[in-house]
Structure 1
Amino acid sequence: MKFRLAFGVIYHISLTVTIWKDSSFRGQNQILLVALKVRYPQRITILRGNHESRQITQVYGFYDECLRKYGNANVWKIFTDLFDYFPLTALVESEIFCLHGGLSPSIENLDNIRNFDRVQEVPHEGPMCDLLWSDPDDRCGWGISPRGAGYTFGQDISEQFNHTNNLKLIARAHQLVMDGFNWAHEQKVVTIFSAPNYCYRCGNMASVLEVDDCRGHTFIQFEPAPRRGEPDVTRRTPDYFL
């Protein structure tokens, strides 16, 4: 069985796909993802991202969009209640650990995550918060994240976590990378970003990671489709990284 890993979800239709969220359900395609999950419940897994929370959606526009379109917050409430039920992590073929952000100093093994009470709003700190907010770093050990939530973690941390849990790879999202994917920690960690030309200005490629029956993996890269009435996108260095 093939798996495809994309920024936002694990989906499996004729194959299995994992998708990491973190778009606060911006755009019509997010409704399609939910519909596909309903249609193929055993083939698609939608992982929670750091933007799938009540607080963040009120900061980045989803709450205001619901008020503007529907006149009240009922739709927003339905979606944010749904976010509470998204899994935080996924394990592909017992060796690829998928999550949105990164590791936590409070989590040594996968059983720690299985024991979570995850059906709740994302807290401001703690292991659940760390899984959605942390980032890999070139420096060893744990560090304070400049994001104000989660941690940075070095190669020594990811190697120990992979060894303890018999993993080969940590696959995560959470950071824009210009080629759609980026290896870290001597290919123990990979960042996958599947939104091309992010925010219509970053000029980045996107990618998905396909894992085949023999557990080999291939990155499938793609450019953004031209927007109607606009010229083709040219790649350039973005003014900022999120």
Structure 2
Amino acid sequence: MACASPRRSPATPRRRAKGPLLASETLPTLANIDSIIEKLLSVRKTPGKMVSLAEQQIRQLCQVSREIFLSQPTLLELNSPVNIVGDIHGQYSDLLRHFDKCGYPPSSNYLFLGDYVDRGKQSIETISLVLAYKIKFPNNLFLLRGNHECASINKVYGFYEECKRRYSIKLWKVFIDCFNCLPVAALVENTIICMHGGLSPELENLNQLRDIPRPIDIPNHGLLCDILWSDPDDDVIGWGQNDRGVSFTFGGEVVRTFLEKHNCSLIVRAHQVVEDGYQFFQKRQLVTIFSAPNYCGEFDNAGAVLCVSEDLTCWFSILPPLKPKVVHVKGRR
């Protein structure tokens, strides 16, 4: 199901926890941002082709977007309409396919739930494009932190090696400085709460999310760790051990109680591969969104985007898994 074109109204945060929201005109920008975006989009018709930005340009993307992240709340408060995107994991061609289908900023508003890097072959292009759009359209596109936007994780699962091979270790460190400033959760129209992983037994009120300091590394336990790492589990009553070895799993009653307490209607999270690109939990009170089809070339999953209209009607834009090309080779006579 394709996305309808949302009305061109920015998904502007309602308020900041401390002080007034900075107007777009006062946010930092880059004089050459249009040419950077143009270059990143130049490979739309050639999937898999690398984009060679200058290292200094990428550094600028990280540094300017970092300041924008810090100028906006840790818990974003957004208006609809907005398209919510799950894990991309360096599958740059699929990110462009989602934009082709759902619309490019600023005609469509976006909230990304994290995990831009690792696993896939084009993490640098993926994170560079969303950072560039964040700079160009700071109140139309929003980025949350995933568990892979963390030095100890992406040093192991591919991003560090990609930066080292294509640019430098110093550039990887610049990315990490940027990742440490990303927001961690979002509230859409005060009723849809979004994060990368899930709930936390330590989360008693939403002000705890607003008060998470930045820059910050992801700890091994506690509220921030759980928001980025926890998973729902049908077989768990209350809280359970997580097979990942980090954080917890949580059952349906935890979801129901949380939504009732905070007067919300839906939890939107990412973090897990699901066959159809989306999967509901606890009577449709929670939905997992995963946006990287054919994940790692090893799964036959679709990739989905959750489209939320201005009146909070929700539907899914689906990228089906691509079938492998069959090459016919004539035999020798």
Q: TM-score, normalised by structure 2?
A: 0.65
Q: How many residues align?
A: 227
Specify which of 114, 119, 123 is matched with residue 21 of structure 1. Answer: 114
User: Who is 1:185 aligned against?
Assistant: 282
| Compared CA separation, residues 92 and 199, structure 1 to 2 (3 A) | same
Specify which of 55, 60, 69 is matched with residue 152 of structure 2. Answer: 55
Whether 1:135 and 2:231 are equivalent positions in the alignment is yes
Cα deviation digits, residues 199-240 of structure 1 (max 9, x gap):
0120111111111111110111112457xxx617xxxxxxxx
d(CA) in 1 for partners of 2:186, 2:107: 19
Q: TM-score, normalised by structure 1?
A: 0.89
Cα deviation digits, residues 12-40 of structure 1 (max 9, x gap):
62232111121326512221111111110
Structure 1: runs of 5+ lacking an equivalent: 233-242
d(CA) in 2 for partners of 1:172, 1:74: 32
Give 1:62 deviation, angstroms: 1.3
By percentage of residues, which structure has more strand?
1
Instruction: Compute the RMSD of aligned alpha carbons.
Output: 1.7
Whether 1:4 and 2:83 are equivalent positions in the alignment is yes
- Secondary structure at the aligned position of 1:120 is classed as coil
Give 1:109 deviation, angstroms: 1.7
d(CA) in 1 for partners of 2:176, 2:322: 30
d(CA) in 2 for partners of 1:185, 1:91: 20
Query: Structure 1 counterpart of 2:111, which letter?
Result: T
Query: Which structure has the larger Rg over C-alpha atoms?
Result: 2
| Compared CA separation, residues 145 and 118, structure 1 to 2 (3 A) | farther
Of 216-225 and 95-104, more deviation after overlay is shown by 216-225
Whether 1:87 and 2:183 are equivalent positions in the alignment is yes
d(CA) in 2 for partners of 1:135, 1:205: 20
Query: Structure 1 counterpart of 2:106, which letter?
Result: I
User: Who is 2:314 aligned against?
Assistant: 217
- Secondary structure at the aligned position of 2:193 is classed as strand
User: Who is 2:301 aligned against?
Assistant: 204
Structure 2: runs of 5+ lacking an equivalent: 1-79, 89-103, 327-333
Specify which of 113, 128, 131 is matched with residue 209 of structure 2. Answer: 113
Give 1:153 deviation, angstroms: 0.6
Of 201-210 and 175-184, more deviation after overlay is shown by 201-210
- Secondary structure at the aligned position of 1:194 is classed as coil
**Contact 2:294–2:322 (8 Å) recurs in 1:** no
Could you tell me the percent identity over the aligned residues? 41
**Contact 1:12–1:42 (8 Å) recurs in 2:** no
User: Who is 2:271 aligned against?
Assistant: 174
Higher relative contact order (CA 8 A, sep 6+): 2
**Contact 1:109–1:161 (8 Å) recurs in 2:** no
**Contact 1:207–1:222 (8 Å) recurs in 2:** yes
- Secondary structure at the aligned position of 1:210 is classed as strand
Cα deviation digits, residues 144-185 of structure 1 (max 9, x gap):
111111110111111111111111000000000000000001
By percentage of residues, which structure has more helix?
2
d(CA) in 2 for partners of 1:177, 1:147: 16
Query: Structure 2 counterpart of 1:116, which letter?
Result: I
User: Who is 1:236 aligned against?
Assistant: none
User: Who is 2:26 aligned against?
Assistant: none
d(CA) in 1 for partners of 2:214, 2:222: 12
